Structure 1
């Protein structure tokens, strides 16, 4: 390399300035356009960024002792025109041009923000907002973005599991085939049904179920089995410590499809019970079997309050995604897919029906039958016979039969 003809002293700035828990700032790359400053002030309503000093020494910074710590902070990465602001979660993890993009929805509250899942080789690297002026404009909250960590984590359920002895914390679990585990569920359920009738079954539904999944669950337990004890878990006050809400994008109710499931139950003349009723019935042995359907996260508060009660039931089944909460005390654990791995619809708080499609392959890979097939086989255990092969077939029946979600 030749000698530089530049004779003046170069002004060096910090390449990795820590602005807060989510953002790293490259001060030399920054052109001081103040887009991020204006976003935090005008959109996020939290003026935490400021341009300090004067002239050539101008620098983007935060106020003294006040880091950039806001539920919308990662939007500043999207709007930065030169890449001076980078996400600590994604920074240098992957070249962006290698990533594939799939349109999806955010499942973290009842707003239903439109998103883009960026992934490669089955791994989700980041989640970005997808512009929809009717729902979220061009932004989304940090919680929805960072949810990607739940998709490819170590405690995902990838195969059916039988707990050898749920009353022994040191007991091992054994993986089984889908055929064997559904045969065992059918045998045990038939014995309970013969002795104690439909009222012996209590069903807990997650508000993370899609319209199609919830319809099949209600059809199995409400219309075929006719158990009076079906409950929708309530995330109305938040969950897992995520209780923040505002008048912008983060709703108080963290249930992505509560509106859709409630509409289905009403149209099918099924009265939903309170989740606390299922726990009380399990403790009193009225519900000898408790069945949970949906993702494991979000029910920690309910599980912590009612673990002992649910654990007293004779037979616990979980169709779930992670080895957490109710799954940890279940006799049988059957894999269930997340929204990023399956197809379906959510209904947001304004009644807007939105479709999502699979972005990545589930942990079980080709061996995973999918949620519709899993629920079909569960239904067969309770003499509910239907032959749906896709979410599209189920949704078509819902529209035709119940006149919903047109």
Structure 2
């Protein structure tokens, strides 16, 4: 028997495009190879995460030795290939494609949400004619028709690239969208009894190149060139989908997926995409409150409120068993690191618990844990002590726990939290740090406003152990600080020391020094796509093949 040779990487293919020599992987399509090397070839139907359709013909190029123009999206690279993307034959072909696409396309760029990020608009300027040669009336179609709960359809703008059809066939496998009719009467649509209501429906608006499919949430909301996009991570489950947060005048206008092939490819679920109102709605806590002797809340300067919180916690230095902490899976790794230092070392709390809302998972992007950083919070040292929330409620009832620090409001949204609210009045002190109001607020001795994911810098660790950086997209409300700053100052007051400003990057360095699984993690190493830590999370059980839902409700 001959000895098996070890597998080796195939040599790269060398080819020339417009006089530029590039390298590509064997079997790669010419269009993607060109795009990877910064060579622009216009295209509509091609998408790197969908099958090749080859219907738009916009990506035609001239390959030396070929008898006719080739569509580059379906032309494999070959060693020694010579390609021309700018010759007159190619320009004429592109003009012809553009002319046919614009014959019936409405001239409504001034009112189209896609304007500013529209392929048809860009290619019309770059590759189209400067005037129309037809005088016939344009074909009419349905306008602004809802084809699902979150998507509206403008039939007149559709160029039949079929990206959306392939998405529902290949990604969600729900097949709501199809091409009906033949020839000039072809159009995209849904079956009468099957609207576009899968949990990833708004992705069709992301991949539509021309504004035919639009997010109803963003419809006629804001011009895209007014938005400031900030890279971040979706906070709605432990998948950690990469997103761009679009902001105008310090309010989130939309969240769209950001490509990360190691996490979410180019997709995200509708639940995560549309769940951002909590960052600016009426439930936000925008002022520190301290309860006076009469039992009423009084507005208090942030620093004074932190001193009051420290004074309430201080007796626990002598009796740590009487101190308890409810942590939050929405804190960053850096904030959780400070909280762990407080409740594990400064005051070894008798009870520590981390409530995590759980819901349906689908085996694709939607995960069971409905929080972005439960994995990271555990890794920072927040470990369950004292039999969870039920044990904590009993300890409060019998008087063992007298002082409680609560981060966020998830404790009342998990089954184990049932009955907790009934005993909070038995506490001697309750410090609540939260960005949004919760029923726990009614029992708080000190209520300190917190920050949402969009108002802080830091890192999250997803369920697979990948550490990813989030960047501040919104300015904090006046008088509000991040939980990292709050915890840092409370600890300083307990130490009778001068508070040091909290810095997420510096604290991540301390995490790397203290947590072995994060020893190789730094802000520079994380980059845009994140980095796997040394955490090995137990895999979630495979879900039964049931209908996909994204609800985070308990």
What TM-score do the two structures reach when normalised by structure 1? 0.87
Within 1, Cα distance between the matches of 2:200 and 2:442? Answer: 34
> How is 1:114-129 mapped onto 2 (pairs within 5 angstroms)?
114-129=242-257
CA contact (8 A) 1:372 1:388 kept: no
Aligned residue number for residue 263 of structure 1: 379
Aligned residue number for residue 368 of structure 1: 480
Return the match for 1:250 from 349, 366, 379.
Answer: 366
Aligned residue number for residue 31 of structure 1: 159
Aligned residue number for residue 458 of structure 2: 344
Q: Say if 1:58 and 1:283 are closer, same or farther in 2 by CA, change over 3 A.
A: farther
Return the match for 1:397 from 510, 528, 533.
Answer: 510
CA contact (8 A) 2:355 2:414 kept: no
Q: Could you list the runs of 4 or more consecutive aligned residues of structure 1 that deviate by over 6 angstroms after TM superposition?
A: 5-9
Deviation at 1:187, TM superposition (A): 2.8
Quick check: 1:40 aligned with 2:153?
Answer: no
Q: Say if 1:191 and 1:347 are closer, same or farther in 2 by CA, change over 3 A.
A: closer
Higher relative contact order (CA closer than 8 Å, sequence separation 6+): 1
Once the two structures are superposed, residues 197-245 of structure 1 have per-residue CA deviations (whole angstroms, 9 ceiling, x without a partner) of: 111111000111111111111111110111121111123xx2xxxx331
Aligned pair count reads 385
SS at match of 1:28: helix
Structure 1 unaligned spans of 5+: none
Once the two structures are superposed, residues 94-124 of structure 1 have per-residue CA deviations (whole angstroms, 9 ceiling, x without a partner) of: 1001111111111111111111111121111
Q: Which moved more, 1:88-97 or 1:183-192?
A: 183-192
Q: Say if 1:319 and 1:59 are closer, same or farther in 2 by CA, change over 3 A.
A: same
CA contact (8 A) 1:51 1:61 kept: yes
Deviation at 1:160, TM superposition (A): 0.4
Within 2, Cα distance between the matches of 1:19 and 1:311? Answer: 50
Aligned residue number for residue 143 of structure 1: 271
Aligned residue number for residue 341 of structure 2: 219
CA contact (8 A) 1:30 1:84 kept: yes
CA contact (8 A) 2:433 2:450 kept: yes
Deviation at 1:260, TM superposition (A): 1.5
Structure 2 unaligned spans of 5+: 1-132, 521-554
Within 1, Cα distance between the matches of 2:342 and 2:496? Answer: 6
Return the match for 2:308 from 141, 161, 184.
Answer: 184
Q: Which moved more, 1:37-46 or 1:272-281?
A: 272-281
Quick check: 1:284 aligned with 2:403?
Answer: no
Aligned residue number for residue 383 of structure 1: 495
CA contact (8 A) 1:225 1:382 kept: no
Aligned residue number for residue 307 of structure 1: 421
Within 1, Cα distance between the matches of 2:273 and 2:423? Answer: 35
Q: Which moved more, 1:57-66 or 1:219-228?
A: 57-66
Aligned residue number for residue 440 of structure 2: 326
Once the two structures are superposed, residues 162-187 of structure 1 have per-residue CA deviations (whole angstroms, 9 ceiling, x without a partner) of: 34599xxxx86331112321232233
Quick check: 1:104 aligned with 2:232?
Answer: yes
CA contact (8 A) 1:111 1:256 kept: yes
Within 2, Cα distance between the matches of 1:84 and 1:173? Answer: 52
Cα RMSD, aligned residues only: 2.5
SS at match of 1:265: coil
Return the match for 2:328 from 201, 206, 210.
Answer: 206
Within 1, Cα distance between the matches of 2:410 and 2:253? Answer: 20
